[in-house]
Amino acid sequence: MEESIKLSFEYSKSLEKERVINTIKRLPWYRDNRYNVDIIAFPKNLDTNNLVSTSDEDILNAIDLEYNQEKHISSEKEMTKLFSLYEGRLVSFLKETELPIISNIIVHLVMYGTAGSYSLPNKVIVNISKFYNVGLMRNILHEIIHLHIQHLIDTYKIGQWEKERVVDLLMEKCFPEITKQQHIQIDTTKIDEVFNTHYPNVPYILETIGEISR
């Protein structure tokens, strides 16, 4: 039987609340890793200068004012249709790189937080308030690749920006026509050399990057 990847979409006010709370908790981490926290999305009625003191009730009330389930439903339909155009190539790419295929991935569609994130073993979270169509699909694929290499990231203790550069390079290999490179906050010369020399052996690439980064 041919292998495949199935996406299941979830969205609700409670998931939006969870996203806002988790994003607030992670703001120090984003600042420490030199992310631009000014572009992170929050409900308009929240005081972004005093987020740490915001109550759960205030967060939910702010979400209630903006929540539009039709937008989530529309995004789900659009992403389901678009993913069918990329799924085969993604599966072939994972086989080529000998990465274990996660056959069922849950996608949370939210309006807040960063462009995207992921959570093991199989969850992707993407922002539909700032991204749509191919841009949103690109974020989903980016986070799916993160999921597939995270076991190696943990094994070889790869740093945040090293990890992001590897995912960008993998995206460029698999989906060159839609990939956009991030502004990486470190010198990537050695990472690029290792990647270009040893692709598609992703485990060895990450093992080597782990060694040269320490």
Contact (Cβ atoms closer than 8 angstroms) between residue 43 and residue 56: no
Task: Look at residue 9 and tell me whether its pLDDT is greater than 60.
Answer: yes
| Cα–Cα dist 88/148, whole Å | 16
Q: What is the pTM of this model?
A: 0.96
Q: For position 43, what pLDDT does the model report? A: 97
Average pLDDT over residues 121-144: 97
On the question of pLDDT at 1 being above 70, the answer is no
Phi and psi angles of residue 177, each rounded to the nearest 5 degrees, phi first: -75, -15
| Percent of the chain's residues with pLDDT above 70 | 100
Phi-psi region of 133 (alpha: psi -120 to 50; beta: other; left: phi over 0): left
> What average pLDDT does the segment 146-169 reach?
97
Query: How buried is 118 (Cβ within 10 angstroms: 0-12 exposed, 13-18 middle, 19+ buried)?
Result: buried
Q: What is the pLDDT of residues 34-79, one digit of tens each?
A: 999 999 999 999 999 899 899 999 999 999 999 999 999 999 999 9
Of residues 46, 19, 1, the one with CA closest to residue 123: 19
